[in-house]
Amino acid sequence: MIGIIDYGMGNLQSVSNAFRALGFGAFIASRPDELDRADRIVLPGVGAFGGGIAELRRGGWDRRVKESAEAGMPLIGICLGMQLMFEKSCENGCHSGLGLFPGRVERIADGFSPDGKKLKIPQIGWNKLEMRKKSAILTGSDGVYVYFVHSYHAVTEPEYVSSVTSYGADITASVERGNVFGMQFHPEKSGERGLGILRKFAELKGGL
């Protein structure tokens, strides 16, 4: 059973609908103790880092997420949910995160497309994944186009980066550390390829 965390800043229904369309049981958890019946967790998110981490802490989600990750439960963060997994963010001040991955979240730098046009920030739309290492859930995703909506991105050590996308420069598109995964893009909005990634996550072995 897949537990989707509702901390007030998540794109909940589309994520839930995606798993259900794939035939997996999913529910939206409004309290940390409701995750007792989950065997994997989704941390979604839209909005700013500071507000997101404040809501996680206010609801006690931060402790539950870290405990679940340490216990080996499969955990995936999507968009802001991925960013919150890092040590800190430079978005609208300095904020500490969950620390599940080393590194920081910073604004996408101004850049230009190959034809010389200035790139818009936020990055909104479809962009191509370039795999950087073998992944448990992104098998066959090299060269696949997925959907992004973000102005900030994660900067971390190469060993955790499973894929990047080019937007003026290489930007971390996904990270992976054992049972913990992060997607800067929205797999639930990325068509059949995105659903395939969610399917692989739902089929992972592990849990409490």
For residue 92, give the CATH number of its domain.
3.40.50.880
In a domain, 208, yes or no: no
| Segment 85-118, tens digit of pLDDT | 999 999 988 999 999 999 999 999 988 877 778 9
Q: What is the DSSP letter of 34?
A: G
Query: Which residue is catalytic, options 55, 91, 176, 188?
Result: 188
113's torsion region: left (phi>0), alpha (psi -120 to 50) or beta? beta
Query: Which residue is catalytic, options 55, 79, 153, 176?
Result: 79
- Could you give phi then psi for residue 103, rounded to 5 degrees? 125, -175
Active site includes 150? no
Under DSSP, is residue 204 helix (H, G, I), strand (E, B) or coil? coil
Return the structure tokens found at 132.
């950087």
Domain ranges, residue 6 = 2-202
| Segment 62-84, tens digit of pLDDT | 999 999 999 999 999 999 999 99
| Segment 115-162, tens digit of pLDDT | 778 999 999 999 999 999 999 999 999 999 999 999 999 999 999 999
Question: What is the pTM assigned to this prediction?
Answer: 0.94
Structural domain count, the chain: 1
Query: Which residue is catalytic, options 94, 153, 186, 203?
Result: 186
Instruction: Give residue 47's Cα distance to chain centre.
Output: 13
In a domain, 207, yes or no: no
Active site includes 106? no
Q: Residue 87: CB partners within 8 Å, gap ≥ 6?
A: 96, 97, 99, 101, 102, 103, 104
Active site includes 188? yes
